[in-house]
């Protein structure tokens, strides 16, 4: 089996980013981004997706977190596209429901080759630990546009914003894990009637 890994660098006047991933990892993670709450959420993706993640970013945090959060999403999406290759033999679809105390979120993903995001998270606060929660929309939009996936994110209930976000990221990790799994019954086959994704 070919190793499904990728290393991507993205350099702009706003951010300089390096992302390395292993889709068949054990959930190891290392982050040097400078945005602690984002790092905490990315750790959920690694741990629950069993994806090894190593992300470094030097961003213009003296302005705000916006460019860093969005560009990490973009670069992570690019790394997924590179690591997953032609998509032959993968499950393709993934979904997960994850609770955390009073919060419950559902994430559904399709490695369709068509970017699309539907995100419905009624945040009860605008800021968690100094982090502007609106930026998660930017993160997921960047990921979707460059991983070429259709992604539906729904927070079904919850009033603690930290719990709302954490359930989203845990469910995202688990949905990714399901979707990128190799399906032994689909070995070498494209999971699409079109023959291409």
Is 17 domain-assigned?
yes
* DSSP secondary structure string for all residues of 12-80: -SSEEEEEEEETTS-S-EEEE-S-HHHHHHHHHHHHHHT-EEEEEEEE-TTT-SHHHHHHHHHHHHHHH
Res 96: pLDDT: 98
DSSP 3-state of 120: strand
What predicted TM-score, i.e. pTM, was given to this entire model? 0.97
For the domain that residue 138 is a member of, what is the CATH number? 3.30.230.40
Longest dimension (CA), the chain: 51
Helix (H) or strand (E) holding 154: strand 150-157
Containing structural domain, residue 47 = 5-180
Return d(Cα 161, Cα 141) in angstroms, integer. Answer: 20
pLDDT score of 100 = 98
Q: pLDDT tens digits for 22-37?
A: 999 999 999 999 999 9
Could you give phi then psi for residue 159, rounded to 5 degrees? -125, -10
Q: Is residue 12 part of a domain?
A: yes
Beta-bridge partners for 105? 98, 155
Cα 56 to Cα 9: distance, rounded to the nearest angstrom:
10
d(CA 120, CA 110): 17
In a structure prediction context, what are the per-residue pLDDT tens digits for the chain, which is 197 residues long?
688 999 999 999 999 999 999 999 999 999 999 999 999 999 999 999 999 999 999 999 999 999 999 999 999 999 999 999 999 999 999 999 999 999 999 999 999 999 999 999 999 999 999 999 999 999 999 999 999 999 999 999 999 999 999 999 999 999 999 999 999 999 889 999 998 89
According to DSSP, the residues that pair with 95 across neighbouring strands are 108
**What is the structure's pLDDT at 30?**
98
pLDDT at 188: 87
Q: Is residue 159 part of a domain?
A: yes
Position 146 scores a pLDDT of 98
Domain count, the chain: 1
Strands 93-100 and 131-132: unpaired
Res 2: pLDDT: 81
Q: Is residue 174 part of a domain?
A: yes
């Amino acid at each position: 089996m070919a190793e499904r890994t990728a290393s991507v660098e993205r350099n702009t006047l706003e951010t300089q980013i390096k992302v390395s991933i292993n889709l068949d990892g054990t959930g190891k993670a290392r982050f040097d981004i400078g945005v602690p709450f984002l790092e905490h959420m990315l750790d959920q993706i690694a741990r629950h997706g069993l994806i090894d993640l190593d992300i470094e970013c030097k961003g213009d945090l003296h302005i705000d977190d916006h460019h860093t959060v969005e560009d990490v999403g973009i670069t992570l999406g690019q790394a997924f596209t590179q690591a997953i290759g032609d998509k032959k033999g993968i499950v393709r679809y993934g979904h997960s429901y994850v609770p955390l105390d009073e919060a419950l979120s559902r994430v559904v993903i399709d490695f369709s080759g068509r970017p699309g995001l539907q995100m419905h998270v009624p945040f009860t606060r605008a800021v968690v630990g100094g982090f502007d929660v609106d930026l998660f929309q930017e993160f997921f939009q960047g990921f979707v546009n460059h991983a070429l996936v259709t992604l539906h994110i729904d927070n079904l209930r919850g009033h603690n914003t930290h719990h709302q976000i954490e359930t989203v990221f845990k469910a995202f990790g688990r949905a990714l894990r399901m979707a990128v799994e190799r399906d032994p019954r689909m070995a070498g086959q494209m999971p699409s009637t079109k023959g291409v994704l």
